[in-house]
Amino acid sequence: MIAGAHLSGAPPTRLRPPRRADGPRLHALVAHCPPLDLNSLYLYLLLTEHFPQTCLVAEDDHGVLGMVSAYLPPGRSEVLFVWQVAVHPRARGRGLALSMLRRLLRRPGLRQVRWLETTVGPGNEASRRLFARLAGTLNAPLRESALFDAALFGVDAHEAEPLLRIGPFPLSAVN
């Protein structure tokens, strides 16, 4: 359970690795969380099947509240790349996103991680604030650099996706 899970009479929140059956629920969650890009249902099924050790689901007795999808880039086991963080509108304002990220970083299989990377468009202020708060709790610098220019997305009119990099941070900062 997470801190504050009983506020306002809310049922307890559980944080756990995803299961295959979560794929459709994760797809539906992201559909309720603009400006996140909604990917195919197949992709969310693959995340639950191939990356349960680096992804996380938050749920209560009423269903899925949030999720983090992440992975270790090939050959870079000290880096956790966070692809999407989604929190259902009914669970916002409780610190769930930060709790999910911190819980994920505490997993025994991720003890070697000293850097967290993600991409966040310039217009996604909520995500930018989240990762700035995470950097603060880890007492680690947050740096931004160019990664995917808007032109790479073609005619989709997708904004640029700069890289945010947090770290290095010691294991003691995660606990």
DSSP per residue, 75-117: T-TTEEEEEEEEE-GGGTTSSHHHHHHHHHHTSGGGTT--EEE
The pair of three-digit structure tokens given for residue 28, joined into one six-digit string? 């539906």
Number of domains in the chain: 1
Residue 31 inside a domain? The answer is yes
Residue 2 inside a domain? The answer is no
Residue 47 inside a domain? The answer is yes
The pair of three-digit structure tokens given for residue 51, joined into one six-digit string? 């990356």
Residue 1 inside a domain? The answer is no
As a whole number, mean pLDDT of residues 17-32 equals 97
Residue 30 inside a domain? The answer is yes
pLDDT at 2: 43
**What distances in angstroms separate CA 172 from CA 63, 97, 109, 168, one per listed residue?**
32, 20, 15, 12
Residue 118 inside a domain? The answer is yes
Task: Tell me how far apart the alpha carbons of residues 119 and 144 are, in angstroms, rounded to a whole number.
Answer: 9
Residue 151 inside a domain? The answer is yes
Residue 109 inside a domain? The answer is yes
Question: For residues 110, 130, 35 and 11, what is the CA-based torsion angle, rounded to 10 degrees?
Answer: 80
The pair of three-digit structure tokens given for residue 85, joined into one six-digit string? 């963080």
Better pLDDT: 5 or 36: 36
Domain that holds residue 135: 7-174
- Helix pair 41-50, 23-31: axis angle to 10 deg: 130
Task: Tell me how far apart the alpha carbons of residues 44 and 22 are, in angstroms, rounded to a whole number.
Answer: 8
What values do phi and psi take at 24, rounded to 5? -65, -35
Tell whether the torsion through CA atoms of 14, 15, 21 and 27 is positive or negative. positive
Instruction: Note the pLDDT tens digit of each residue in 114-126.
Output: 999 999 988 889 9
Percentage of the chain surpassing pLDDT 90? 76
Instruction: Note the pLDDT tens digit of each residue in 57-96.
Output: 999 999 999 999 999 999 999 999 999 999 999 999 999 9
Task: Tell me how far apart the alpha carbons of residues 75 and 90 are, in angstroms, rounded to a whole number.
Answer: 38
> What CATH number is associated with residue 97?
3.40.630.30
